[in-house]
Structure 1
Amino acid sequence: MKSNCLFIKVLIFSTIIIAIITLNGKVSAQSVKVFQNMRYAEKPKGFEQDTSSDRLLDLYLPQVENNKSYPVLVFIHGGGFAGGDKNAKGNVLLCQKIAEKGYAVVSINYYLYLRQHKIAGASAGVNMKDAVPADGKFHPGLETAVKHAAADTEMALQWIKDNATTYKLDANRVAISGGSAGAMTALYTAYQSKQQILPIRCVVNLWGGLANTDGVNASSPAVLTFHGDQDEIINVAYAKALHQKMTAVGSSTSEMHILQNMGHAIYNYIIKSEINRIDEFLQKCMGIKPDA
């Protein structure tokens, strides 16, 4: 009899805890629904066999029982504009973890310009392994690759706008993020593209960079930057230059975290240790109450 009573008490306690978690908008991994390979724009011509360059997205939706729309994070994978895919393990785990915090995550594939155009000297590794360029310019091939990726990102923003009602997406609370080449694309879209499809509330910059920060001003969205101090592909100087400009224009919400003794593409660390910090930053920028 005592064991039955104990079991009932444990069951009731567990139910209460689950209810509290659900009310707070924090959901379990089992409560995230993923819609895979949704087309956000017409397939690029000539790349029928290259799905990594196709305009497809995965939509991660937290399954919380309420009538609220989900704030949105767009995630853009890395790969030097020559490789990478939204289906890579680190990308999937990161998107899953952020969706568990109550966000709709839109993870995109996009046109990989440098996969289709082999241009000597155009890689991020060649252009960005040292200091930020004094003339504020990358190799023309790299600049073209960023612009192509940003153009596809804008198409994904249009998809979000067009499908907001269907998937309960809050088109007024959209952030943008990416790793490496994806972060370069996110930064370009937020600060240099002048897109007006949707307002970008903030940026999560994972070891990316800009050739120059001329587009950053007092009205620019805040940025949360993570960058390893031992990064040999995109120099940590890019993180410092961006944060210096953010500070100069008065962006008190922006943060920079230099990760000691770490290199490039450290997704495992971010997934293990920094999801809560990302969540707190997004809440702050989007005006989300912790219990919303």
Structure 2
Amino acid sequence: MRNNRFLLICSLLFLTGLSACGGGSNSDNSTSFSPASEPIEITPIVKAQSTYLTLVEEDITYAEGLRHNNSSTTPIAISLKLDVYYPSNDSTNRPVFMFIHGGGFTGGTKTKPEIVDMASYYASRGWVLVSIDYRTAEELITTPGTPQDELLAYYKGLAPLEWIEHALQGVDTTKQFEQAIAMYMAQRDAKAALRWIVANADTYNINTDYITVGGASAGAITTIALGISNQEDFRDEISIADDPTLSTTNLEETYNVQSMVYFWGSNVKLELFEDVYGMYLYDSDDPELFMAHGTNDVNPSTPYSEATELKGIYDSLSIHNELVTLEGAGHGAWDATVGGQNLSEMTFDFIVDRQNLTVE
């Protein structure tokens, strides 16, 4: 039954498109002293209104990954990129929000206008927002009719053998198979991007105790799998011997996601992981969750029922979660408002409340 759902998901995803103080001696030889240290910020301070200019660093390489092209017989390495949006302030204590674009695991971009708008909203209020690209089916070239044993060798290093075998059993077309492989690669890349953020936290004055991860559509599917899965999941199934680019992904870093933001996604990737590895990953230590999902989402891979199913899982584990129902909205409802608030405003309220951020 799960394989049927795998086929359905793969086929339909294709359609979606610092300062210091010191003292010195007085000239009259009186006792020297050091003034009291400045108060230490316990939690990050963010602004209720747009306050800072948004500064952007684009196309930063966060890791490498393997891909195929029209002429490759073995996988080749490519650079994986992200954009960093940060405020024009001197805070050394900034929260971070990593956002993952959608695109049905067949395409998409970190510079989607709605993501850029959200990045400016958050950076102008004191966050660092990181928008990432990741490998999709665009990085995969499969010749139709290729024998299964050749496919296993062709995609070695891009996905684990057991994932490839499971995909071959659950799809009917080459495109569906490529999407199935891309789902794994996207997860590996998103985790690598988050480890890069931790490794480079000092560069952008990020407090890694305040990490939010979010995404839309395929990005929401990837967000859920990132926040719920263990650090080693979607990472250690491939060895460095099979994928030498893993050595570029800050494997020594760890992270702790505090909040997840989900726009019109699903739980499918964790279900597939359970199918392949027999592991149910949800537990009571999972990150808190904000969801926004339209009741008229006609994409069968991301129906509104996926959000209510996730809410049920979270409620059963007594983990705080919020589902904002976008009445009458379809897939990709970026312009939705509820109670006069848009998505950025709703997620802002959720994050500052649940992470106990100081708002000025």
Q: CA deviation at 1:161?
A: 1.4
Other-structure match for 1:133: none
1:275 aligns with one of 323, 330, 344? 344
Return the letter of the residue paired with 1:156. A
Q: In the alignment, is the contact (CA less than 8 A) between 1:230 and 1:264 conserved in 2? A: yes
Return the letter of the residue paired with 1:254. N
SS of residue matched to 1:156? helix
Q: In the alignment, is the contact (CA less than 8 A) between 1:69 and 1:170 conserved in 2? A: yes
Q: Does 1:36 align with 2:67?
A: no
Aligned length: 247
SS of residue matched to 1:250? coil
Q: CA deviation at 1:99?
A: 2.1
Q: Distance in 2 between matches of 1:206 and 1:153?
A: 17
Relative distance call for 1:88 and 1:24 in structure 2 (3 A) is closer
Q: CA deviation at 1:63?
A: 1.7
Return the letter of the residue paired with 2:64. E
Q: Distance in 1 between matches of 2:259 and 2:56?
A: 24
Q: Distance in 2 between matches of 1:247 and 1:153?
A: 26
Deviations 1:254-278 (A, max 9, x none): 1001111100111122696132221
Structure-to-structure mapping, 1:197-216, within 5 angstroms: 197-211=254-268, 212=271, 214-216=280-282
Q: Answer 1 or 2: which has greater helix percent.
A: 1
Q: Distance in 1 between matches of 2:266 and 2:350?
A: 19
Q: In the alignment, is the contact (CA less than 8 A) between 1:25 and 1:64 conserved in 2? A: no
Other-structure match for 1:237: 305
Q: In the alignment, is the contact (CA less than 8 A) between 1:26 and 1:100 conserved in 2? A: no
Q: Distance in 1 between matches of 2:130 and 2:310?
A: 25
SS of residue matched to 1:268? coil
Structure-to-structure mapping, 1:10-21, within 5 angstroms: none
Q: Distance in 2 between matches of 1:119 and 1:166?
A: 44
Q: CA deviation at 1:27?
A: 5.9
**Higher Cα Rg: structure 1 or 2?**
2
**Alignment RMSD:** 2.9
1:76 aligns with one of 84, 100, 124? 100
Return the letter of the residue paired with 2:226. T
Other-structure match for 2:199: 162
Relative distance call for 1:68 and 1:200 in structure 2 (3 A) is same
Q: CA deviation at 1:57?
A: 0.5
Other-structure match for 2:331: 264
User: Identical aligned pairs, as a percentage?
Assistant: 24
Relative distance call for 1:287 and 1:180 in structure 2 (3 A) is same
Q: Distance in 1 between matches of 2:47 and 2:124?
A: 8
Q: Distance in 2 between matches of 1:75 and 1:282?
A: 14
Structure-to-structure mapping, 1:98-109, within 5 angstroms: 98-109=122-133
TM-score by length of 2: 0.62
